[in-house]
């Protein structure tokens, strides 16, 4: 199995660091308009900085995950 080095995919490596911070910030789901407004605004900013389809997909799946997590409460 082949693998890559961080230096070979700098855009994705940068995204992953930013995405991980985003995940930690919103991990505890809140049922408030302020929480969701901030989450969506920040997700949109990250997606604008990282327009790669992989990056957008990760962001969308995480938001979907949080929504499902909220509905289970």
pLDDT > 70 in the chain, percent = 100
Distance CA 59, CA 56 (A): 5
- 21-32 pLDDT, tens digit per residue, is 999 999 999 999
pLDDT category, 1, cuts 50, 70, 90? confident
- Backbone torsions φ then ψ of 3, nearest 5 degrees: -135, 160
Instruction: Inform me whether the pLDDT recorded for 2 exceeds 90.
Output: no
Distance CA 38, CA 42 (A): 6
């Amino acid at each position: 199995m082949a693998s890559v080095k961080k230096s070979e995919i700098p855009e994705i490596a940068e995204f992953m660091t930013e995405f991980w911070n985003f995940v930690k910030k919103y991990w505890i789901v809140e049922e408030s308009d302020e929480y969701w407004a901030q989450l969506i605004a920040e997700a949109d900013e990250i997606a604008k900085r990282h327009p790669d389809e992989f990056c957008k997909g990760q962001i969308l799946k995480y938001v979907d995950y949080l929504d499902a997590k909220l509905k289970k409460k």
